[in-house]
Copies of this chain bind each other. A is one copy, B any other.
Amino acid sequence: MARKSLVGVVADELLDRIIAGDFPPGSSVPGELELSARHEVSRMTVREAMKTLEAQRILSVERGRGTFVNPLNRWASLEAVLRAASEGQNEAAASVQLIELRRMLETGACELAAARISDADIQALFGHVAAMRAAHKVNDIAAFVEADLAFHDLILRASENVFVAVLFAPLHRVLEKRRAETSAVPTIQEHAIGHHQNIAEALESRSPSRSREAMDLHMQQTLDDLKNLVLEAP
């Protein structure tokens, strides 16, 4: 476990207070001196924490006036927005919205990939599906998830769109944990194998619309799985 530096702790605590509503958007946060006293750190440490929040467009620093909280829709950090959006009973809603976002990016990337993917990569896709089948047979969840992720990563890369990958990375981090949970259910594994097979075949046909449709069905099923798992939480 990576021990967090003081700067990280201060930034986290400050973000927590912002999300809790202590400093609503448009208002100013306490001055650097006041914060350094409250968190019992030096002013430089507070400044570095502020810099990290400023780089994520959560705060706007105005020299001579103070430091202000930006409205949520200007925040550039998916993780921070997720934390804010998951407050209260909104966690389920936030999860659904994340999947919706993933659906947009993955179906779009799949459509692009259909016209650009190489023969070698298509063979690799079928290889990953085979790996998923094998893992399913021996009930090796870790191997199953690994092949699953590799499958999707390959399509992302095959889309040859750098920006899609950039936007997808934070999503990947956020959804990683839940993916392992859903993949633990054998029935869901079977569904996923079928969908992946269809996607690979669609890409092999080089049809953008068919590829997009195949990925869309897969995403739709993922969303249903999530809803079922979230709603029947023990």
Contact = CB atoms under 8 A, between A and B. Distances in A.
A27 interface: no
Q: Closest 6 CB pairs between A and B? A: A104-B108, A55-B55, A52-B55, A51-B51, A97-B161, A101-B163
Q: How large is the interface on A (under 10, 10 to 19, 20 to 34, 35 or more residues)?
A: 35 or more
Prevailing SS type, chain A contact patch: helix
Interface in A44-65: 44, 47-48, 51-56, 63
Contact of A166 (B53, B75, B107, B163): B75
B162 A97 contact: yes
18 contacts: A5-B63, A44-B44, A48-B48, A51-B51, A51-B55, A73-B162, A76-B77, A78-B167, A85-B162, A97-B160, A97-B161, A98-B163, A100-B108, A101-B108, A101-B161, A101-B163, A101-B167, A104-B164
